[in-house]
Structure 1
């Protein structure tokens, strides 16, 4: 502590000449007054920031008081820097005192300062204080109201405080600020993650009534919620309501619709909607084909699986680890391992590096096959080795052969 005091005294000695030069009644120096103040403020800010990095809030506070006693003028940057440091380190009483100094002064208040302060209070669970800060900004700096409300709504939504998020949104609307597309879509995403299905559906209906389109993140979030609750029929209805002709979200809507049928192995409906997708002018991607391939594999529909592989090859789409897993699992589950070479003949097993490019939402619904799970574990364990699908299949076949030998020996 004594060493810190000496360090502090040294800093004050270095800063003192600037203060003295400012207070000396000299015309040439008076002309440089603003420059001296600026240099002093920059040095004060530099010292405080260095103390912040070292985790010394008490010393930083003492430095501020002693600089004031020496006649230094604390500018906005210095005060906000110290305030945010106090808030981020849990010294909310001191942060609040500086906040009142700043908010009641003539200083310009920047949105990033308010946003960082709100983040600190929300991180500590001081939600009531956040509401107070928003209210004070609304009174003293009305030009920042909308931005502060948007940030607060986002912060409450990210931590799952949907009721507080809803209250902040209602308060924002009551003051005449509009709810734009980005806020409406974020609202749906947060309700999908942390709210009930009913709350999520109500949020979607409000977005529709505002005549805003639900965007890609919103579609995925709502779909995830339906998938978690295994409400695949509701998922299909939602996707049709969104619009199967939406091209600005790629194949997402169609892939999710196919997945809703594959989840319950409604194979005729799956095939019908796939044809409707192609007829509508959409080009199936790797995820589209793998949704069908996984369903065909689990149902042991070898002919359909082969036709799907032919279609992929015709469209120039390279299979990934999921596709190979569908083929390997389908044949081995039916004890047709000897025919596996025939199935893999038109697939590039020798040169292609194993990789997963399929949308992970497929695994949330249909899970991962045994070959894929085993191969991923092997790839993770031997990351520096060069792998091909041929090597992975050979190792997997040996593993299955040994497990069968152990089974028959017992």
Structure 2
């Protein structure tokens, strides 16, 4: 099969070369001018046909997974009298780099960087991505330095892109070095870079490193954005530092409107994690008094805490509050009610508990997933998700899910008592 594939690709290349040669011969046969005129006319043909056909061959080789044929393609094209233009060279360079042929890619890069071509930022970014993805960090930095010398108009964008690349793979030291070099060239650190720093240190650094990055952002008078807030919160949650999470949220400022309810929800979550119910209720009231409207995640954080603590009256009041605010419950809300009653062996009262909830609605899941990192998923929630994922063609309702879940619980109890 591999031999057939190679033959088919070779045949495709041969066909392209024959067609290119025929067109070129046709152009030459109709040109009777001087040598400079020939060169000028060939140049217009090269842009119209040659580069288009060359670039169409290169991706087709990549899709076939036969990079070695590209090594034969360039010499054969040049032997046929074709001059590779900028677009073909860059396409071939990226093709080499993405397939691990860095020696060939580097040779083409030197040809491009030392020519009069106007480089495209996308091409340079893709090349750096390939080198960093292969762990060739020194070579990536070399490309950045060459750009700063030969194409200074692109260096700020390239610095920012390289900082992001190093950050995404957790190379924090290289990220810092690149940032310092960028600043030494006179380029500013803007809000997007500062917030990206917070995210990368939250994912790959220690808590202390993350907190220092946040202090640097504050000293620069930039506001931390929602992605940064969420990343810091996830780091504190990962280390179960819920008190530190609360202090961080107050430091950011709970009154910020551009973060929506994220700050308040995270604060409520920090109290729900340790089931500090009085503090949870107090901060919920503070949230409402501050002019923030509770959303579905806000209510579900409280509902999960009430369910786990078997606070049935508070759970019912929370559901009524949701109805009053026009917020529809999701799978998490139903799970809180079902699990609370079944855990206390009050399954017969479940119809009464669900009387103000429309059990004929189709199941939805709109709760912020960060809640599950702290409070986990209830048994009904997990079982229903597995059922919905297993049979996606069927039309489901909460009523059907609850009926199946009750049968499952009944059978498990029967098996338990038989033993």
Tell me how far 1:362 sits from its aligned partner. 1.0
Tell me how far 1:30 sits from its aligned partner. 7.5
* Residue 401 (structure 1) aligns with: 410
**In 2, distance between residues paired with 1:404 and 1:42?**
70
CA contact (8 A) 1:19 1:71 kept: no
CA contact (8 A) 1:22 1:37 kept: no
Tell me how far 1:126 sits from its aligned partner. 0.7
Q: How does 1:5-404 map to 2 (within 5 A)?
A: 6-7=14-15, 10-11=18-19, 13-17=21-25, 20=28, 24-26=32-34, 32=41, 34-39=43-48, 40-349=50-359, 351-404=360-413
Distance change (3 Å), C-alpha of 1:107 and 1:28: closer
Aligned residues: 409
Quick check: 68-77 or 390-399, which moved more? 68-77
* Residue 3 (structure 2) aligns with: none
Task: Tell me the SS of whatever aligns to 1:345.
Answer: coil
**In 1, distance between residues paired with 2:163 and 2:197?**
8
CA contact (8 A) 2:58 2:95 kept: no
List gaps (5 residues or longer) in structure 1. Answer: none
TM-score, normalised to structure 2's length?
0.92
Tell me how far 1:403 sits from its aligned partner. 2.1
Tell me how far 1:15 sits from its aligned partner. 4.8
Q: CA RMSD in A?
A: 2.2
CA contact (8 A) 2:268 2:280 kept: yes
Distance change (3 Å), C-alpha of 1:23 and 1:50: farther
Task: Tell me the SS of whatever aligns to 1:377.
Answer: helix
TM-score, normalised to structure 1's length?
0.94
Task: Tell me the SS of whatever aligns to 1:105.
Answer: coil
CA contact (8 A) 1:86 1:92 kept: yes
Query: Which string of whole-angstrom CA distances, capped at 9 and with x for unpartnered residues, describes residues 288-337 of structure 1?
Result: 00100100111111111111111111111111111111111111111112
List gaps (5 residues or longer) in structure 2. Answer: 1-5
Quick check: 31-40 or 166-175, which moved more? 31-40
Distance change (3 Å), C-alpha of 1:82 and 1:379: same
Tell me how far 1:105 sits from its aligned partner. 0.9
Tell me how far 1:61 sits from its aligned partner. 3.5
Tell me how far 1:170 sits from its aligned partner. 1.1
Tell me how far 1:33 sits from its aligned partner. 5.4
Distance change (3 Å), C-alpha of 1:233 and 1:13: same
Distance change (3 Å), C-alpha of 1:9 and 1:267: closer
**In 2, distance between residues paired with 1:18 and 1:155?**
48
Tell me how far 1:54 sits from its aligned partner. 3.8
